[in-house]
Amino acid sequence: MSMYPASTHRRFASGRLARAAARRGAFTLIEMLVALAVMVLAMAMVTTVFSVTAKTTAMSAAVSEAETLARNFALQLEEDLRGCDPARSVLVLVGRTQAAALTEDQRRAGLHYRELIGDPGNINPSLDPKFAVTPPPEYSDPRADILMFFTQRPSGSQSPPVAPVDNFGRALQRGAQLSPVQVVYGHAALDTAVRSGGSWAFADNLTHIETSDPTNLSPLPVTRWHLARRATIINDTSDLYQGSYAITALFFRGNDRGASPDNRTTAYPRILRCLATNSFAGDTLDYPLELALKMVSPQSPHIPARCSPYTFWGTFPSSLPTWNPLERRILLSLLYPAAPAADPLYHHVATVIEQPPEALRDNLALDLVPGCAWFQVEFLLPEDPRNSRTSPLSDQRRDTARWVRVTPGSTYVFVPDTDENREYVQSQVGLAGLADQPNPNSRLSTFAQVVPPNAPYNGQNSVYNRIVRMWPYAIRVTIRVIDHNGRLDAPIERSIVHWFP
């Protein structure tokens, strides 16, 4: 028998059970460390998933925004070109490149942003294009070309006058759709807005993307480059101005109604900014367009413009005469209407405020593509009949179309493609008794011979064996859009091809 009473045995038994239960319900140190490690791993996985999701969402938003900008640009350009009649317009292509950095941090570090344009197999692996002062042959600094033409696309004023002074201004105020319209595509200069007398105004502190030496980095990273579309509704005043008065004054300045011909203080600042005055719209101009086109047509006594569309600053072929200074001034005034001598240096086609206040919101009409890292215009030579869709030589092309880049630093001008211009070129024959053969070094001699349709080629060097035209068969415009918030590592690219009749 036990020496202890039954109650004591029960107390001992319950104590042992309690201690055993306590041991079974507690965690050891190892168990706690394992649990903590699992928890940390789970939190890291959740954080990684969240980070990847957030980054993917941001990238998707950036791609969507860039795609939208590129799509809106393509729609605008295609509509403008659809309304362009080569017989009632000039076509001006300006080629330029500008060294630049992708972001502000990279600009400060001196890192160049460049695009591969050549054969990747020829790249020298020891040469980093980001650090080279001059880009390797396979790379290019960002293209910042300019494209100008006139379109018959009916357009309404984006900045109509508040108190119009004539029927033209009242029509703009009512929202009338008018034409012709001068369209200029090119990178804008940036400005800021300041308070002036209780209202907002431009600070006139411009920052151009371009430098006097294009091998120096642009003061603006390409994430802040803005491609502008300057659309100016032309009020053709050709019937008001004739003779030397028009030639010596209005051709190269333009002016507001009622102002003296040399007064450009009110006309051009509003056009470059799309900023209306009380009386005049911010995107209209009185200009004798018909007379200006005649200055580069057979009616003009100046021959060079009728001989060759190449080039504005030089000649093509080299034996042809240079452009007349008068014709040069006409086209300069249309491209860079601010018109001080330094403006062509910086190709000032528009002025944009990045975040304009409400009073200057009309300025957004100029801001087409923020973050435009590349704008390039190429063309198919009119001298090459293989570019024609109807030429008997077109089936000889076995490779892709031979797109020609505009040489950086050059301006190419294509004069109106009228019957009169073509007939003038076709008349450049008969020298040295050769009735049907082109004069040596004439514009006609630059057009290649083709086989006449339904007839064997007889080897005759005749005007009838050529397709004569003043404009290229087509242009191709390529744009690259980088996210201006820096969320994309590479730009979105889009190309538009337009064929002229």
Contact 469, 417 (CB under 8 A): yes
Q: State the pLDDT confidence band at 289, using cuts at 50, 70 and 90.
A: confident
The pLDDT assigned to 262 comes to: 39
Burial of 8 (0-12, 13-18, 19+ CB in 10 A): exposed
**The token pair that represents 240 in the structure block:** 């008001």
* pLDDT for the residue 372: 94
- Does residue 80 register a pLDDT over 60? yes
Q: What is the pLDDT of residues 86-145, one digit of tens each?
A: 999 999 999 999 999 999 999 999 999 999 888 888 888 888 888 888 888 899 999 999
Do the bridges between strand 351-353 and strand 189-191 make them parallel or antiparallel, or are there none, so unpaired? parallel
pLDDT reported for residue 312: 52
Instruction: Give yes or no for residue 357 having a pLDDT over 70.
Output: yes
Domain boundaries, the chain: 51-100+141-417+469-499, 427-468
Q: How far apart are CA 367 and CA 331, in angstroms?
A: 23
pLDDT band at 304 (very low <50, low <70, confident <90, very high): very low
% of residues, the chain, pLDDT over 90: 33
Q: Which residue has the tokens 């996985």?
A: 45
Q: Per-residue confidence at 323, pLDDT binned at 50, 70, 90?
A: low
CA-to-CA separations, 381 to 86, 172, 461, in angstroms, rounded: 15, 39, 20
pLDDT of residue 55: 65
Lowest-confidence region among 137-146, 258-267, 431-440, 441-450: 258-267
Q: Give the residue-averaged pLDDT of 455-478.
A: 78
Average pLDDT, integer, range 360-379: 94
State the DSSP code for 297: S
Residue 394 pLDDT grade (very low, low, confident, very high; cuts 50, 70, 90): low
pLDDT of residue 85: 97
Instruction: Give pLDDT, residue 131.
Output: 86
- Position 17 scores a pLDDT of 54
Residue 85: how many CB atoms within 10 A of its CB? 16
Cα distances from 167 to residues 238, 249, 256, 280, in angstroms, run 17, 25, 14, 12
Helix (H, G, I), strand (E, B) or coil at 323: coil
245 DSSP assignment: H
Question: How far apart, in whole angstroms, are the C-alpha atoms of residue 66 and residue 78?
Answer: 18
Buried b (16+ CB within 10 A) or exposed e, 472-492: bbbbbbbbbbbbbeebbeebb
Percentage of the chain exceeding pLDDT 70? 73
> In this structure, what token pair is assigned to residue 239?
């019937």
DSSP characters for 355-388?
S--GGGGGGGGTEEEETEEEEEEEE--TT-GGG-
**Tokens 């000039």 sit at which residue?**
90
- Distant-in-sequence contacts of 441-444, Cβ < 8 A, 24+ apart: 441/317, 441/319, 441/320, 442/307, 443/306, 443/307, 443/308, 443/320, 444/468
Cβ-contact 450, 338 below 8 angstroms: no
Residue scoring higher pLDDT (20 or 316): 20
Grade residue 253 by pLDDT with cuts at 50, 70 and 90.
very low
What pLDDT is attached to residue 23?
56
pLDDT band at 32 (very low <50, low <70, confident <90, very high): confident
216 vs 50 pLDDT, higher one: 216
Residue 204 pLDDT more than 80? Answer: yes
Condensed to tens digits (0 to 9), the pLDDT of residues 398-427 reads 556 689 999 898 888 888 898 888 888 888
Q: What are phi and psi of 110, to 5 degrees?
A: 75, 25
Q: Compute the average pLDDT of residues 417-439.
A: 77
> What was the pLDDT predicted at 355?
87
Give the neighbor-by-neighbor strand order of the sheet with 474-481: 404-405, 372-379, 474-481, 492-499
Distance between CA atoms of 203 and 192, rounded to whole angstroms? Answer: 5
pLDDT at 426: 85
Global pTM reads 0.83
Instruction: Indicate if the pLDDT at residue 256 is higher than 80.
Output: no
Q: Is the pLDDT of residue 22 over 80?
A: no
Q: What is the mean pLDDT of the chain?
A: 79
